[in-house]
Amino acid sequence: MSTMVAELYDALRKAGVDEQLAQHAARAVLGTEARMDLATKTDLLALKTDFAELRGDFGELKAEFGELKAEFGELRADFSELRAEMAEFKADVRTDLSGMKRDMSEMKVELIKWNVGAMAVLTAIFAAIVRLG
């Protein structure tokens, strides 16, 4: 029994109403009180309208999700293309570096030859100056 029903029963008993009659009256109020929580046709129509709106909103969200999915697919393709370009760039850099290393090695050999030659010429010039002097 709810509080309201118990209070009604107590009030009826204090007013001198027979116990069984007070119980029946209180139970009748309980039935009315419980029926107050039932949904009416108007309530059901409002719910139906709300559900229709939610379906529409869900349809819009589904469409937007489809668009996002398509854009994500495009981004994936762009990233795949970028990866391929980066792989090409790496290969080009490696090729260039190996060429630069080879060129530097050749230049090193040439510099050593020039230095040895210059030292030989300077030694000859120094020796000639020493003989003259």
> Distance of alpha carbon 7 from its chain centroid, rounded?
58
State how far the Cα of 1 lies from the Cα of 12, in Å rounded to an integer. Answer: 15
Q: For each of the chain's 133 residues, which pLDDT tens digit applies? A: 566 678 878 888 888 888 888 888 877 776 655 556 667 788 889 999 999 999 999 999 999 999 999 999 999 999 999 999 999 999 999 999 999 999 999 999 999 999 999 999 999 999 999 998 7
Burial class from Cβ neighbours inside 10 Å (0-12, 13-18, 19+) for residue 117 reads: exposed
pLDDT, residue 2, reads: 60
Structure tokens at 98: 């190996």
C-beta neighbour count of 1 within 10 angstroms: 13
Q: Do 25 and 5 touch, CB atoms closer than 8 A?
A: no
CB within 8 Å of 32: residues ≥ 6 apart:
none
Radius of gyration of the chain (CA): 50
Per DSSP, the three-state class of 18 is coil
Q: Do 1 and 9 touch, CB atoms closer than 8 A?
A: yes
